[in-house]
Amino acid sequence: MPINPDAVGAESDPHEHSWTSKDALLYAVGVGAGLDELAFTTENSDGIQQRVLPTFAVIAGASGAGAVSKIGEFNWAMLVHGEQAIKLHGEIPVEGTARTVGRIAGIYDKGSGAVIVTESESVDAKTGDPLFSARSAVFIRGEGGWGGDRGPSAGNQAPDSKPDHVVTYSTREDQALTYRLSGDRNPLHSDPKFAKLAGFEKPILHGLCTYGFTGRALLHALCDSDPSRFKGMEARFSKPVYPGDTLTVSMWVDGDSALFRTETQRGEVVIDNGRVEFSA
């Protein structure tokens, strides 16, 4: 087996990633923000100060995923994103440079494949102040079966009760073409021929784009659109989304946290086991 289960604890080298006001604006448009969210989509509107969507942390700290290279050789075409969590130590600045170190936090044997969990910490490259941390899990098909630990079971089960908040957004047919400009140029999200080879009828939306749409809904419904009140979120990707789909985010609030899930107009749950923390 090419991957090394003993790579748990291995760290990536520190990597710096810089962003500008333009990068933050492009990300916001890529996850569906528009004319009614000018604080996130413009930098020069009269009386409005530009701010950054909290889920931009997945872009600014993306270099933490470099720790996956420490597990050995595998076919990257067999990798799918399974889970994503972010924790914010403060509001993300409109421009800056993050220094990020990632590490392998877990390698689990699911039989048909392996789950690789990475964690990363990002600090301000100039001051050393903490910016945000992230945790990501990927599933690599065909890499399991060595008899290892299967890993923890999923938590954050949404209740059967009526949600406290429901927000619905429509994605555009060309949504993935905008989102990919924030960094993920995988042709699975843009090339019809490549998507069909991967088993999809057409290109699918980036999981982290759906994550960003969901984060916007949580921000506006639970934090009164104030990024400084948004502390973190975690969720599992359960099914693909196609550009043009409608996304409905349901939330169940408990004090300064809430459980959530995201569904399409087909009734398919595409993000589940979600939990968000915020300043109530």
Name 177's Cβ contacts closer than 8 Å, sequence gap at least 6: 190
Residues 104 and 163: their CA atoms lie apart, in Å, by 36
Residues 91 and 35: their CA atoms lie apart, in Å, by 22
Query: pLDDT digit of tens for each residue in the chain (280 aa)?
Result: 578 999 999 999 999 999 999 999 999 999 999 999 999 999 999 999 999 999 999 999 987 677 888 898 888 778 889 999 999 999 999 999 999 999 999 999 999 999 999 999 999 999 999 999 999 999 998 999 998 999 988 889 999 999 999 999 999 999 999 999 999 999 999 999 999 988 899 999 999 999 999 999 999 999 999 999 999 999 999 999 999 999 999 999 999 999 999 999 999 999 999 999 999 8
* 47 annotated active-site: no
Per-residue tokens: 140: 């690599």
Domains delineated in the chain: 5-141 (3.10.129.10), 165-278 (3.10.129.10)
For the chain, the helix, strand and coil percentages under 3-state DSSP, each to the nearest 5? 25, 35, 40
Determine phi and psi for 93, rounding to 5 degrees.
-70, 155
Q: Which of 3, 30, 86, 189 is catalytic?
A: 189
Is 222 strand, coil or helix?
Answer: helix
* 13 annotated active-site: no
* 271 annotated active-site: no
Q: Which of 92, 102, 109, 184 is catalytic?
A: 184
- Work out the burial of residue 262: count CB atoms within 10 Å of its CB; fewer than 13 is exposed, 13-18 middle, 19 or more buried: buried
Q: Which of 30, 102, 207, 274 is catalytic?
A: 207
* 104 annotated active-site: no
